[in-house]
């Protein structure tokens, strides 16, 4: 099968690798390539955040978790498996995604910040997008996948038996999907003060807080503002992120920002992963709308895309 993958973020690159490894001829088209995609902005730790529906997300997240753990043994991939601690301000039932990780433990009290009632501890792949997206691209080049940097205005422009649409927020224009909307996220990068676990607090009344150590730096988040498209980092928002993350780890008190980054997550009520038949009879497999979990779901979604492509009729 000749497959045309549209999109050069984590979804498109991963689908292209997975399809090529299954023996398809693959070419990729993208208006923007790493480091200029939303995927580059992601804090990129494994965590199913703002992606629906839960039953499908659970399966995709579980598959991706296992794949990232396996890839972490390659030192060139930019993946490190770290302990993640989700802080709970009150006792809570097991999270809905618990079955997607090999083991969910109660966090020992000495690993929790002051004031926390309890916490979950689990192994979370941390994907350093500065390295990993280049790793995927280099993998594609080794596999002989042609990469074309070009905006596609219509599926008819791409000569392939089957298309895979991984255009994220770009699906609004490309296929007129009005259900896709931006969820703006702002992050602060600081020098890593020696933090040894990913820290997450979804329940802070001031807003979500997370700390993602990457070795040289630490990514602090965050915000999630639906239908906001400003790409300017807001200083007051950055100060609030630093304050919330400081409550998670005293090591972050007085941390100095080395970068402020903003990205627009491709929001959608549910991830769109389904085949559609175009008017010219060709099949397009859509794979977009992963919200705050595009990295977390990337391999599981790519496997399902492969299944649809394998079953697609030839032109």
Ligand X SMILES: Cc1cc2nc3c(=O)[nH]c(=O)nc-3n(C[C@H](O)[C@H](O)[C@H](O)COP(=O)(O)OP(=O)(O)OC[C@H]3O[C@@H](n4cnc5c(N)ncnc54)[C@H](O)[C@@H]3O)c2cc1C
CA dist 246 and 255 (Å) reads: 9
- Phi, psi torsion values for 216, nearest 5 degrees: -80, -35
The answer to whether residue 267 forms part of the interface with ligand X (CB under 6 A) is no
CA dist 155 and 5 (Å) reads: 11
The answer to whether residue 39 forms part of the interface with ligand X (CB under 6 A) is yes
Instruction: Output the smallest distance, CB 222 to ligand X, in A.
Output: 5
The answer to whether residue 155 forms part of the interface with ligand X (CB under 6 A) is no
Angle at 283 between CA 279 and CA 286, to 5 degrees: 110
Q: Which is nearer to ligand X, 246 or 300 (CB)?
A: 300
* Residue selected from 290, 302, 309, 312 as contacting ligand X according to rule CB under 6 A: 290
Instruction: Output the smallest distance, CB 169 to ligand X, in A.
Output: 6
Residue 175 backbone zone (phi > 0: left; psi -120 to 50: alpha; other: beta)? alpha
Instruction: Output the smallest distance, CB 260 to ligand X, in A.
Output: 11
The answer to whether residue 38 forms part of the interface with ligand X (CB under 6 A) is yes
CA distances from 244 to 204, 211, 253 (A): 8, 10, 10
Touching ligand X, residues 221-250 (CB under 6 A): 222
DSSP 72-123: TTSTTS-EEEEEEEEEESS--PPPTTGGGSS--EEPPGGGSPTT--EEEEEE
Q: Which is nearer to ligand X, 90 or 149 (CB)?
A: 149
Among the listed ranges 92-100, 139-147, 271-279, 292-300, the one in contact with ligand X (CB under 6 A) is: 292-300
Angle of helix 294-310 relative to helix 54-71, nearest 10 degrees, comes to 100
Q: Give the 3-state secondary structure of residue 288.
A: strand
Q: Which is nearer to ligand X, 35 or 307 (CB)?
A: 35
Site string for ligand X, 269-288 (x = CB under 6 A): -------------------x
Angle of helix 10-21 relative to helix 294-310, nearest 10 degrees, comes to 40
Touching ligand X, residues 166-225 (CB under 6 A): 166-170, 174, 185, 187, 222
The answer to whether residue 121 forms part of the interface with ligand X (CB under 6 A) is no
- Phi, psi torsion values for 148, nearest 5 degrees: -115, 125
Task: Tell me how far apart the 2 most distant CA atoms of the chain are, in Å.
Answer: 62
Residue 87's contacts (CB-CB under 8 Å, 6 or more residues apart) are 107, 112, 113, 116, 119, 199, 200, 201, 203, 248
Touching ligand X, residues 94-113 (CB under 6 A): none
Site string for ligand X, 14-33 (x = CB under 6 A): ---------------xxxx-
Among the listed ranges 96-104, 135-143, 241-249, 263-271, the one in contact with ligand X (CB under 6 A) is: 263-271
* Residue selected from 1, 3, 5, 6 as contacting ligand X according to rule CB under 6 A: 6
Q: Which is nearer to ligand X, 117 or 259 (CB)?
A: 259
* Residue selected from 63, 247, 249, 296 as contacting ligand X according to rule CB under 6 A: 296
Task: Identify whether the C-beta of residue 131 lies closer than 8 Å to the C-beta of residue 39.
Answer: no
Q: How far is CA 277 from the centre of its chain?
A: 27
Among the listed ranges 114-122, 162-170, 197-205, 231-239, the one in contact with ligand X (CB under 6 A) is: 162-170
Which chain residues interact with ligand X by CB under 6 A? 6-12, 29-32, 37-39, 41-45, 47, 151-152, 166-170, 174, 185, 187, 222, 263, 265-266, 288, 290-296
């Amino acid at each position: 099968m000749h497959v045309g993958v549209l999109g050069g973020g984590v979804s498109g690159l991963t689908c292209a690798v997975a399809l090529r490894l299954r023996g398809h001829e693959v070419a990729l088209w993208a208006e923007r390539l790493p480091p200029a995609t939303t995927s580059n902005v992601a804090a990129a730790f494994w965590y199913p955040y703002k992606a629906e529906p839960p039953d499908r997300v659970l399966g995709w997240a579980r598959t991706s978790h296992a794949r990232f753990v396996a890839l972490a043994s390659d030192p060139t991939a930019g993946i490190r498996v770290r302990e993640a601690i989700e802080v709970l301000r009150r006792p809570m039932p097991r999270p809905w995604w618990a079955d997607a990780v090999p083991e969910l433990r109660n966090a020992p009290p000495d690993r929790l910040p002051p004031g926390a009632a309890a916490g979950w501890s689990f192994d979370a792949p941390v994907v350093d997008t500065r390295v990993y997206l280049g790793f995927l691209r280099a993998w594609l080049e080794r596999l002989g996948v042609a990469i074309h940097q070009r905006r596609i205005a219509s599926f008819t422009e791409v000569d392939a038996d089957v298309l895979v649409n991984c255009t994220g927020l770009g699906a609004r224009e490309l296929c007129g999907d009005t259900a896709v909307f931006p969820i703006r996220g702002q992050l602060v990068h600081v020098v890593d003060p020696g933090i040894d676990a990913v820290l997450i607090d979804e329940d802070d009344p001031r807003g979500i807080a997370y700390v993602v150590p990457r070795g040289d730096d630490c990514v602090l988040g965050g915000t999630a503002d639906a239908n906001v498209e400003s790409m300017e980092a807001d200083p007051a928002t950055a100060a609030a992120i630093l304050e919330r993350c400081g409550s998670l780890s005293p090591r972050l008190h007085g941390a100095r920002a080395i970068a402020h980054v903003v990205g627009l997550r491709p929001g959608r009520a549910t991830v769109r992963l389904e085949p559609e038949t175009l008017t010219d009879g060709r099949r397009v497999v859509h794979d977009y709308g992963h919200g705050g979990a595009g990295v977390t779901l990337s391999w599981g979604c790519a496997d399902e895309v492969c299944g649809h492509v394998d079953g697609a009729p030839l032109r």
